[in-house]
Structure 1
Amino acid sequence: MMKHKVKCINLLVTSSLLAGGAMASEECGCDFTLPSSHYAFDGAEQGILPGQTLCLAAGERGPMKLINIHGTEAEPVVVKNCGGVVETTPYHYAITVQQSSHLKLSGTGDANNYYGIRLGGTLGIERRSSDIEVNNIEIYRADFAGIMAKTDPTCEPDTHAGNYTLANLNIHHNWIHNTEGGEGMYLGYTGAYRTLVCDGVEQRVYPHDLQGLRVQHNLVQNTAAEGIQANSLTQDTLISDNRVSLYGQDPFAAYQNNGIQIGGDHVALENNVIDTGSGNGVIAIGQDIRIKNNTILNAGSYGIFADNRPAPDTPMGQAGLPHQYINNTIIDSAQEGIRSYVRLTDGANLVWGNIMINDGSPNQYGAARFIHYLNNDVLRDEQNNHHIIRN
């Protein structure tokens, strides 16, 4: 059997407590243990190596900072609970992960608790972190977003697009609920650029890309703003098998109240259930977006609203790749089931096999709450879509 060397970080305890902690750490397979009385772990200072495990001692604790922790793709560093549930007292943030890569933050350290880490505040992934996995964690009562994953561009060049990419963020099997001011998940930077004064000169700085995003099998409930918001997406995004309910309950600004919001290109949104909220079930802005096999219920506006926002005077066929809306079931949206402004694309948008179910009452303009397009610049291939009017 493999033996593990256990390091308890800066811990002063009696010999009996140390022995008990070491035994629990051995059972969890820990190489390092962060006691509940400690709030920070610096991987560079502590010498943690790829493939090693940092355990969080069970019990109630304050907020934590995890910094300078680097694994590899083949051997990530694992951070997990040990000996029971880890629970942070409610605060502005619960855990911040900074300047780290190939790290797995997991609440699977106790077989008796599916969510072995309970965070009473935001989980932040920031300061040029990348290749982070988050699973089996409960997040509640966050002041703003439940999970915040981005690095704002500053005057420092290493925060700019092209110099840093947030890659391979994998968020799965988490429960996020009752955010008090913002989104369930806020992933990637929102906005095309920032205008800053750097060394006395005003300049535009552009945010990092978000690539290889995976958001799957999460439960997101009762959020003040969007349930899941992902922006600056540039390639290979999959958002699937999530359940988002009671979204946009107290948005901080107009239009910040959608179930799932996508901003970017080359995205698949599949097999999600989006149930009851004040805004759109899905809003998708970008090119090459596939929205397939989702169930959307009781959206306060459109079931799906989509746009690609081409530049003025863009010729037909030059506004990027089209969208696909396939086999979605949209029930009782306040406005149309699908409204698409995705125009001037290189090929037709596919609108296949969608079902809209409602009571047959018209929208605010007197039109059927079915499918609507901005104009004939929206190229489309429509097949087997159905509007079912409930008696």
Structure 2
Amino acid sequence: MGGAPADGGSTSEAGAPGSGSGNGSGGSTGAAGAAPSEGGEEGFEPTYGRFGEAPESTFTLPSTTSAIYYPDVVMSFPEVDFTTLDRLYIPAGEYKTLLLGNLPERAAERPLVITNRGGQVKVGGQAANYVMSLGGGKNWILTGRYDPVSETGDAEFRGHAEGAYAHSQGSYGFLIDDAFSKEGLSGLSIGGKASDFELDCLEVARAEFAGIVAKTDNDGAATMKNVKVHDVYIHDTGSEGIYFGSTQPQPQHSFENLHVYDNRFLRTGTEAIQIGQQGDGLEVHHNVFGPGAVRWRSAFQAYQDGNVQYGQRYGSGSFHHNVVVGTGDLFVELFPTVVAGDPRSSEDKVSFRDNYFSDTSSGGVYTHADDTGVTIEFLRNAFRGFYFDYDAVYPDAKAPVQVFGVGSSSPNPHVLQGNTADATFPFILYKFPSVTESDNTMAEVPPVEFRDFMLPEVDEDVRKLEWWTPTATLSPDMRAVTYDVGAVVVHRGTLYRALVRSSGEAPGENADAWEKLPAPADDVRLAPGSPHQGLGVRWPPATP
């Protein structure tokens, strides 16, 4: 990918974090973000003290003008008692990279809170070997949330936490924005046997690979568990929104008690959420995922173009009250994963219930046939927006004949009940003895209405938005891609509309061919009166 801007990652292009192109609720890099009187939800009274009262012990990392690099943060500061430290402050500034390794193992009742101090911490955009990396430790929290009682965050960088969702780019205490400075980089990486951590009120943008990766590769004993991800805004990534748990061959560690809620993972190149090696206790709820797979013509690998990818090893998991929009092949692909020695049980259950799925270039759901004995439930979900054009990249692809596909002769029990699909083909056509289905109806499903997302023509079918590419690199013939007048693309995190029919003319370099569009508002809370109330990001926020 192209190099970083000379100023260390900020850019004047519309839609880029820190561009100052919002409606006053967003902030520019190094400038004030939204105060409640400017961008907060009118009438909303925030509840402070989320992380307890004023801290008893604090430590601020030394100021630097380039990078924060502590592979062993505990050993680097022997004068600090990391067993009782309440706040680890990262001083405001723009950093090439940020590494905190060997974080301490703390008790659950007294976690270490890591937060910004004195303004915004901005990381990335300078073609480093990594952007932000956290390693090791237990019971720590990374938060950019402003809380004057708990003494976290900064009043000038409140993000969306008090209601200023629209145009909140650049207004968070932590802004991890790599500006597509280097191919293959993720925004935030968490590993080193880290476990029992929480991510809260962060913005991650323009990473060429995934927004956030959490896993310790090739270590079957390094279980991650008790992880919370909430109020995180990830947008405009080259690959996954989040990639938690490995998808590589064993040995890989399991991932237990992962909770993902009230997040926005928007305009991701491949899957919005890819979670693998899942054990017991997964709960993914009240998120907005999509559009996913905007890079479906030129992703890093063929068929990396779903929205939700879920690998389940043992135990039970629940996926509910989410809004999932935009996919290439499938809304959901479920991989039951057999690993010797896992504590599987006849009571294991994976449940997808009360979700909304819309806008696909091919099919709906597919569950693979690997025998773990898990019961798979799909209950009261709504499906719509089947617009087949998958053969534009994969010429041998055939139009779907069913919404829900089950791997051939899968022995895992499937319960499909009360789902509604707006499609010209049946909910399920090929059934096996393991499948029980009832009360699934084919009927019109009204679309959700967001408060203020991107563009009207895109919001009604998010598959109209694509990652600009001169060539469909995943097509067997490597065909050139031609964009017709009116086509909408995202290029380096900015939206453009085609003024003329063109091929190979990059947006941002050909003003006669492309109109640069304003930054998307990305307020994907459902509008008052929208169908499907109660799904997606909750407002007012749920009690922590």
* TM-score after normalising by structure 1: 0.77
Q: Among 280, 290, 295, which residue is 2:351 paired with?
A: 290
* Superposition deviation, residue 189 in structure 1: 0.9
1:341 aligned to 2:402? Answer: no
1:269 aligned residue: 319
1:384 aligned to 2:446? Answer: no
- 1:5-154 alignment to 2 at 5 Å? 31-34=58-61, 35-37=63-65, 38-41=67-70, 42-46=73-77, 47=80, 48-70=82-104, 71-90=106-125, 91=127, 93-108=130-145, 109-112=153-156, 113-114=158-159, 115-121=172-178, 122-153=187-218
| One-letter identity of the residue aligned with 2:119 | G
CA distance in 1, matches of 2:408, 2:322: 22
CA distance in 1, matches of 2:429, 2:194: 40
Residue 270 of structure 2: SS of its match in structure 1? coil
CA distance in 1, matches of 2:307, 2:209: 16
Residue 115 of structure 2: SS of its match in structure 1? strand
- 1:176-195 alignment to 2 at 5 Å? 176-180=234-238, 182-193=239-250
Q: Is the 8 A contact 2:368 2:410 kept in 1?
A: no
* Superposition deviation, residue 85 in structure 1: 1.9
Which deviates more from structure 2 when the two are superposed, residues 91-100 or residues 289-298?
91-100
1:237 aligned to 2:282? Answer: yes
2:368 aligned residue: 307
| One-letter identity of the residue aligned with 2:192 | R
* Superposition deviation, residue 73 in structure 1: 1.1
Q: Is the 8 A contact 1:340 1:378 kept in 2?
A: no
Q: Is the 8 A contact 2:266 2:272 kept in 1?
A: yes
CA distance in 2, matches of 1:61, 1:221: 25
Q: Is the 8 A contact 1:63 1:94 kept in 2?
A: yes
Q: Is the 8 A contact 1:280 1:302 kept in 2?
A: yes
1:170 aligned to 2:215? Answer: no
1:371 aligned residue: 427
CA distance in 1, matches of 2:232, 2:270: 18
CA distance in 2, matches of 1:325, 1:40: 46
| One-letter identity of the residue aligned with 1:339 | G
* Superposition deviation, residue 353 in structure 1: 1.1
* Superposition deviation, residue 36 in structure 1: 4.6
Q: Is the 8 A contact 2:421 2:445 kept in 1?
A: no
2:418 aligned residue: 353
* Superposition deviation, residue 207 in structure 1: 0.8
Bigger relative contact order (CA 8 A; separation at least 6): 2
**What's the CA shift string for 1:113-160, capped at 9, x where partnerless?**
22321001410001211112111100011121110111111xxxxx2x
Residue 75 of structure 2: SS of its match in structure 1? helix
Q: Is the 8 A contact 1:178 1:223 kept in 2?
A: yes
| One-letter identity of the residue aligned with 1:72 | A
The count of aligned residue pairs is 326
| One-letter identity of the residue aligned with 2:154 | D
CA distance in 1, matches of 2:381, 2:107: 38
In structure 2, stretches of 5+ residues that fail to align are 1-52, 146-152, 160-171, 179-186, 337-347, 389-399, 447-544
CA distance in 1, matches of 2:155, 2:329: 38
CA distance in 2, matches of 1:263, 1:233: 6
1:326 aligned to 2:379? Answer: yes
* Superposition deviation, residue 270 in structure 1: 0.8
| One-letter identity of the residue aligned with 1:107 | G
* Superposition deviation, residue 78 in structure 1: 0.7
* TM-score after normalising by structure 2: 0.56
| One-letter identity of the residue aligned with 1:132 | F
1:226 aligned residue: 271
Structure 2 CA distance for partners of 1:342 and 1:57, relative to 1, 3 Å: farther
* Superposition deviation, residue 385 in structure 1: 1.3
1:215 aligned to 2:272? Answer: no
| One-letter identity of the residue aligned with 1:295 | Y
Structure 2 CA distance for partners of 1:330 and 1:235, relative to 1, 3 Å: same
- Please provide the CA RMSD for this pair: 2.3
Q: Is the 8 A contact 1:277 1:300 kept in 2?
A: yes
Structure 2 CA distance for partners of 1:33 and 1:293, relative to 1, 3 Å: same
Residue 222 of structure 1: SS of its match in structure 2? strand
Structure 2 CA distance for partners of 1:221 and 1:28, relative to 1, 3 Å: farther
Q: Is the 8 A contact 2:216 2:222 kept in 1?
A: no
* Superposition deviation, residue 378 in structure 1: 3.2
Structure 2 CA distance for partners of 1:133 and 1:389, relative to 1, 3 Å: closer
| One-letter identity of the residue aligned with 1:258 | G
* Superposition deviation, residue 389 in structure 1: 5.3
Structure 2 CA distance for partners of 1:227 and 1:390, relative to 1, 3 Å: closer
| One-letter identity of the residue aligned with 1:386 | T
**How high is the sequence identity, in percent, across the aligned residues?**
24
| One-letter identity of the residue aligned with 1:106 | T
* Superposition deviation, residue 342 in structure 1: 7.7
In structure 1, stretches of 5+ residues that fail to align are 1-26, 154-158, 194-205, 311-318, 361-367
* Superposition deviation, residue 220 in structure 1: 0.7
